[in-house]
Amino acid sequence: MDDSLKPSRRAFLRGSAAVAAGTVAGGAAAQGAPDPLITELQDWASFTGVGVDETPYGLPIQFERDVVRRNVPWLTASPISSINFTPIHALDGTITPQGCAFERHHSGAIELSKADYRLMINGLVDRPLVFTYEDLERFPRENHVYFCECAANTGMEWAGSQLNGAQFTHGMIHNMEYTGIPLRTLLQEAGADMSADKWVYVEGADASSNGRSIPMEKALDDVLVAFKANGEALRMEHGYPVRLVVPGWEGNMWVKWLRRIEITDMAVESREETSKYTDVYEDGVARKWTWVMDAKSVITSPSPQMPITHGTGPLVISGLAWSGHGKITRVDVSTDGGISWQTARLGKQGDSKALTRFYLDTEWDGSPMLLQSRAMDETGYVQPTKDQLREVRGENGVYHNNCIQTWFVNEEGIAENVEVS
């Protein structure tokens, strides 16, 4: 480069940097000090980058290496029958990348090839059938975005606020676009008895089998036998090559490595639908089956893992809302622990039984906040407070906790999990 050109180019850039910095409200504007990132030629512009032959399958850049699933070792006896959590605090939009979408296994994730895959339909059917993976690919398929939430999500909140981070309190959820065959298509193929009083028992190929009974009405409605998520094959940990998608219903029913579908006269009452995933009230009586996940929301930022680092001034409060009963119609945000509420902006109109992103574009004056969000769905249902939920359900609960969550944000912008009553 002609040296005589350099000074004038730098002078121009320095001038524009000062203007840009001046527009940032409350920002630490570089008063006159030249920003070398603007004024100096950087290495990444001086040398060539990485060739296309080095990234056959792209992974997040090293600077994003903290945006990963995490588990909490003391929660379970072994990582084989355990859970890890989606880093929802660090994501935006609504789609969960497969690589960081939570996993929940009862006997570990299994490696099952398409060639070894078989799906059997038996029981009350005219033609018991066994499908190969290739057989399934020949049925007409559909695409739908749905959330999958483990019934145990937010379960530790029954006993107080023990886990400090949206990832840990609310990260047993993911939201993907599934490609699959309506279950009803396969039931028709087998000539299943589809009367309303019949049940569909589904089980997986893993050691736990995770068998669950689904009432016929739901099986014929929107259940999918899915083999793709977000456009690509399911990951091993999410049930490759085929899993069940049971929209809006508790994650436990979303059987992975799906191997058998049996039409039955009544619910099988397996372990997973009796001693587990059942809600026990204060008086010891258990509520029989809680399938639908009620409306719920959480602020993902700011949150304990996402403190406010930019000081006072414009603040984007953001979070996720969802309902197993349909669409999210409104989300309110409170900064004073539920005394007053402001209606948040939805990132886009909510999809049925899928995550909805909400934003409250606000100003922060540096005073402490008690942040809460409250979701409403198309049935008119309003997400309850912790107190309201405990009043009805007692404190024996593990599952199905959809209470309003509170984060305390101090003057420094640090957030922590607290309870208000």
Binding site for ligand MTE (CB under 6 A): 102-106, 148, 150, 174, 204, 206, 208, 210, 237-238, 251-252, 254-257
Minimum CB separation from Co ion for residue 155, in Å?
A: 10
Closest to 121 in 3D by CA, of 137, 108, 141, 135: 135
Burial of 274 (0-12, 13-18, 19+ CB in 10 A): middle
Residue 222 binds which entry of ligand MTE, Co ion, none, CB below 5-8 Å type-dependent = none
Closest to 90 in 3D by CA, of 60, 124, 66, 74: 66
Residue nearest ligand MTE, CB atom distance: 204
Locate 189 and state its tokens: 């193929």
Closest to 285 in 3D by CA, of 392, 148, 154: 392
Q: Considering only residues 389-418, where is the footprint of Co ion by CB under 5 A?
A: none
**Among 89, 104, 170, 238, contact with Co ion (rule: CB under 5 A):** 104
**Among 123, 248, 251, 324, contact with Co ion (rule: CB under 5 A):** 251
Minimum CB separation from Co ion for residue 225, in Å?
A: 19
CA–CA dist 185, 208 (Å, integer): 27
Measured from the CB atom, is 89 or 105 closer to ligand MTE?
105
C-alpha distance from residue 340 to each of 336, 343, 414 (Å):
7, 10, 22
Minimum CB separation from ligand MTE for residue 225, in Å?
A: 13
Instruction: Select from 21-29, 55-63, 150-158, 355-363 the region that touches Co ion (CB under 5 A).
Output: 150-158
Residue 234 binds which entry of Co ion, ligand MTE, none, CB below 5-8 Å type-dependent = none
Tell me, what DSSP letter sits at residue 370? E
Q: Are strands 258-264 and 118-123 parallel, antiparallel or unpaired?
A: parallel
Per CB under 5 A, 353 contacts Co ion? no
Kindly write down the DSSP assignment for every residue of 315-370, as one continuous string: EEEEEEEE-TTS-EEEEEEESBTTSS-EEPEESSPPPTTS-EEEEEEEEE-S--EE
Residues in the chain: 421
Per CB under 5 A, 324 contacts Co ion? no
Minimum CB separation from ligand MTE for residue 98, in Å?
A: 9
Measured from the CB atom, is 208 or 362 closer to ligand MTE?
208
Which residues are at the interface with Co ion (CB under 5 A)?
104, 150, 251-252
